[in-house]
Structure 1
Amino acid sequence: MSVEESLRHHDAAPALPPVVDEATWQAELDALRVREKAATRELDAIAAQRRRLPMVRMPEYTLEGAFGPLRLVDVFEGRHQLITYHHMWHPGAEFQCGGCTYFTSQFTRLESLENYDARFVVVTQGPIDEALAYRRRVGNRMTWYSTAHSPFGADVGAPPDGGFALNVFLRDGEDVYRTWVTFSRGVEQVSHVFPLVDLLPYGRQEEWQDVPAGWPQRETYSGWPEAADIARWYGDR
C-alpha cells in the first residue's frame, strides 16, 4: 500500500450512506422534506396552542443580582416577557452542572430579544457572589440572578439540590404571571447545538438513537463537553 493509499485508509469515514445518482438522492430528499414540513407545521400548531395557555399570577419575590436585591418584576427591565433558565447548583463545587453550563454557553448575543419585548436570564440557587464568579470562570455571557434567599426557584420547579428548568413569565404593570415551563429534553427547542448535530449524517452518535447498521454510537452524554471544557474554551482562566 502506498503512502497516499495508507493516508486515505487512515482517514476513512467510520460509515457511509449508500452512494446514488443525483436524481435518486433528490427523490429521497423530497420524500423526507414532506415529513420535515409536516413537523414544522405541527410545531407552529404547538406554538399557537402555547400562546393560548392560561397563566398563573405569581407572588412577589426578591432575587439578588450583580447590584444587589431586586424584585422579580424588576428582572424584566421594563419588558413584558421574561425567560428564566434555572441553572443547577451544587454548593462548594468548582464546576457546576456540565449540561447547564453547556446549554447556557450557547447564548452570547441576546439583544435581538429586545425587538420582541423579551429578556432571557439565568437564575440559580447559588449565592450571588459565587454565581457571578462561576459565570466569569466559564465565560458565560448571560445575566445571572440568585434565588438562594428566595423561594422563587423552588416554586417554579428548580429547588435547591434539584434539577434545571426553563420558565416563561409575562408582566402586566407590577403583576407577574407564569405562562409556561419545561424540563429535561424540552429545553432542546431553544438550543442551536442539538439541531445542528441532528443535521449531521452521524447525528448525536448516542446509543438510544435509531441509526443504520455500522453507524458510530457511544454512551449517551459522552459527547457533551464538561464544565471544565467550557471554562477552558471561553472562560477567564
Structure 2
Amino acid sequence: MAAPAALPPVVDAGTWQRQLDALRAREKAATRELDAIAAQRRRLPMVEMPDYTLEGEQGPIRLVDVFDGRSQLIAYHHMWFPHKQWQCPGCTGFTSQFTRLEVLDNYDARFVIVTQGPIEEALEYKRRVGNKMTWYSTANSPFGGDVGAPPGGGFAVNVFLRDGDTVYRTWHTNGRGTEQLSYTFALIDLLPYGRQEEWQDSPEGWPQSPTYSRWASSEDIAALYGPDA
C-alpha cells in the first residue's frame, strides 16, 4: 500500500492526553444528547396502520403476522431496481452486517427486510449475497409507498408496535439517519483518516476520494458471504 499522504503531529504523552480529554468532553456531551434524543423518541405518538398484506417466503402474510408474535418490529426498506442482478450496494452492505439478531428476542422485537422487488427475485438476491435476515416483498401492496419507500424510491427504516391485531407506526428515518444502526461507520470514524471521502472535514493532506468509492460493491459482498464464498 502507498504511504499515507500526511501524518498527525507527534507530541508528548501529556499534550496528547490533554487533547484527548478535551475531545472526550465533547464525546460525553454527544452521548448525553443521544440519550436525550432516545428519550424523546420513546415519547413520540404513533399512527395506526391499515391491515396490509405482504409477500413472504411462505406466501401472503399480514403485516401483523410479520411480527411473529412479538410486539415490536424494525423494518429496513431495501432499495430495489427491477430486473437487475445486483441491487443497491449501500443497502446490500448495510444489511449484510446483521447476522445475529437473536438479541432482539429479549426485547420482544424483530428486525426484517422489506423490498419492492417481487418475492421470488428478492429471495434469490438474498441467497446470492448471503443475507441472513428475513425478507418480505411489498410489490403487491401499497405498504412500502405509504411508509416512505415507494417503487423507485430510496431506502428507509420504519419501526412498528403491535397491540393485539392492531399495528402502529412509531418511527421513521432515511438517508444518513440509518447510520446509527450500523457498526461499520462507527469503526471507520475512529480511524485517523476516517472515511476518506471528499465531503469530510479533514486536515490538509489527508487522503480523500470520491464519496462511495471505498464502499464494497454488491458483487464483493456476494463473494464474501454468498453461497460460493
Place the TM-score, normalised by the shorter chain, in its bin. Answer: over 0.9
| RMSD of aligned alpha carbons | 1.0
Q: Output the amino acid matched with 2:145.
A: A
State yes or no: 1:67 paired with 2:24: no
Match of 1:161 in 2: 152
Which of 200, 213, 223 is the equivalent residue of 2:204?
Answer: 213
3-state SS of paired residue (1:120) = strand
TM-score by length of 2: 0.98
Q: Which one of the candidate residues 116, 119, 122 is aligned to 1:128?
A: 119
Alignment of 1:123-202 (within 5 A): 123-202=114-193
Taking the TM superposition and a 5 Å limit, the aligned residue runs for 1:222-233 are 222-233=213-224
Aligned-partner SS, 1:214: coil
Q: CA deviation at 1:12?
A: 3.5
2:78 to 65, 69, 87: 87
Following superposition, the deviation at residue 151 of structure 1 comes to: 0.7
Q: Which ranges in structure 1 are unaligned for 5 or more consecutive residues? A: 1-9
Specify the SS of the correspondent of 1:213.
coil
Q: TM-score, normalised by structure 1?
A: 0.94
Structure 2 segments unaligned to the other structure (5+ residues): none
Q: Which residue of 2 aligns with 1:28?
A: 19
Runs of 4+ in 1 over 4 A off after TM superposition: none
Q: Percent identity?
A: 74
Equivalent residues, number: 228
Offset at 1:108? 0.6
Counterpart residue identity of residue 81, structure 1:
Q
CA separation in 2, counterparts of 1:202 and 1:230? Answer: 23
Q: What is the distance in 1 between the residues matched to 2:70 and 2:13? A: 50
Whether 1:117 and 2:108 are equivalent positions in the alignment is yes
* Pairing 1:101–2:92 present: yes
Whether the aligned pair in 1 keeps the contact of 2:4 and 2:207 (CA below 8 Å) is: no
Offset from partner CA, 1:24-63 (integer Å, 9 cap, x none): 1111100000000000000000000000000000000011
Following the alignment from structure 2 to structure 1, what is the Cα–Cα distance between the partners of residues 140 and 92?
22
1:36-92 residue CA offsets vs partner (Å, 9 max, x unmatched)? 000000000000000000000000001111111110000001111000000011111
- Cα separation, 1, equivalents of 2:41 and 2:216: 32
